[in-house]
Amino acid sequence: MLSNELTKSGRQETCLREIQDIYKEIYQGFLDQPKKIYLTEKDFEESPDYQYIDNLKHSYVKYDETQDNYKLLPLYYHGGVKVQDSKYYRKLYSILDGFPNIASCCIIVVRANTQIGRHNDMEPGWRAHITLDSGGGNDTGLIYENDGKKIKHIFSNGSLNIMQPKYNYHKGWNRNQNERVNLVIDFYNGRHANEMDLKKYFEEYNEVFYGLENMHDFYEAKRIFGSQYTQTYAEFLEGDLKYAS
Ligand SMILES: [Fe+2]
C-alpha cells in the first residue's frame, strides 16, 4: 500500500522520464508565459483571522510558518483539460494526454527561506515532484515517512520524487536564495490500479477540491477579473456560480 514504486518500464514511468528529459524546456515555457495568474494560500483561507487553515486540504499548518509561502499555477486536469495557453506547454501537454490515471498537474512555486511543518494532505493517490528550478542551491527538499522509514529528497534541478501525500507524513523547506519551482503530477499508480480503485480515486480526488470544475471556474474568475476578484474559494463555493454536487 505504501509502495511508491512504479512498474518498471510501465507507461507512467516512461511519461515521467520523458517529462524529466524536457524539464528545462518546460521551465523556459513557464518563464516565457506572460501575466501568469496563480492560486495562492489566501485563496484557501477560511477566515481572515490569520490562523492559517487550509480550506482546500483541511490540513492545519502553523500560520507563521506558511504565510504566502507558496503559489500554484494549475496546468492540467484529468479528462484532458488544459488550463494554460498550450503554446507554452506544448510537449508537456502531449505527454500528459498519454499519462495513464492522471488526476492533475500544476507548477508550485515556494518562496525562499520557507519551512512547511509536518502534515499530510487530503489528496489520495501518488504525487510526483519534478524540480524545474531549485532556487540556486541544494538546500531545499522534502522529508517524508514511508513504512516507518524517513526519506529525505533534495529538490535538485531535473530530479524526480514519488510519494503519497495522504499517507506519507511530510515536511518541506526552501533555504536557497531564490524561489523553488516544482512541477507536480498527481496520479494513481498503475501498479495498484483496478477499475474500481480508479473510480474511487477520481471521486475522492474530486471531493478534496470540492469538485475540480468548481476549482477551475474559481480560477477562471480570478483570471478574468484579476485583482478586482477578491473572493476566497470558500466564498466562491457559497455563491451561485458553483456547480451542483
Ligand atoms: Fe503537503
For the chain, the domain total comes to: 1
- Work out the pLDDT band at 67, boundaries 50, 70, 90: low
pLDDT value at residue 60? 39
- Residue 6 domain flag: no
- Which residues form the domain of 68? 11-236
pTM given for the model: 0.89
- The answer to whether position 177 is within a domain reads yes
pLDDT tens profile 164-189: 999 999 999 999 999 999 999 999 99
Ligand 1 centroid distance, CA of 109 (Å):
13
User: Grid coordinates representing 155?
Assistant: 529538490
pLDDT at 36 over 90: no
The alpha carbon of 119 and the centre of ligand 1 are apart by a number of angstroms equal to 6
pLDDT at 62 over 80: no
pLDDT tens per residue across span 100-156: 999 999 999 998 888 888 888 889 999 999 999 999 999 999 999 988 899 999 999
Give dist(CA 56, CA 104) in Å, integer. 15
Residue 212 domain-assigned? Answer: yes
Helix axes of 11-21 and 23-32: crossing angle, nearest 10 degrees? 60
For the chain, the average pLDDT equals 86
Smallest CA-to-CA distance from 90 within 138, 22, 155 is with 22
Specify if 124 maps to a domain. yes
Backbone angles phi, psi at 85, to 5 degrees: -55, 120
How far away, in angstroms, is 12 Cα from ligand 1 center? Answer: 22
Nearest of 52, 86, 165 to residue 153 by alpha carbon = 165
CA 240 / ligand 1 centre spacing (Å): 30
Q: Which of 121 and 51 is assigned the larger pLDDT?
A: 121
The answer to the question of residue 105 being in a domain is yes
For 18, the enclosing helix (H) or strand (E) is helix 11-21
Can you give the pLDDT at residue 55? 41
Task: State the CATH number of the domain containing residue 179.
Answer: 2.60.120.330
Q: Reply yes or no on whether the pLDDT at 46 is more than 70.
A: no
Distance 104 CA to ligand 1 centre (A): 15
Distance 121 CA to ligand 1 centre (A): 5
**Distance from residue 142's CA to the centre of ligand 1 (Å):** 9
In a domain, 241, yes or no: no
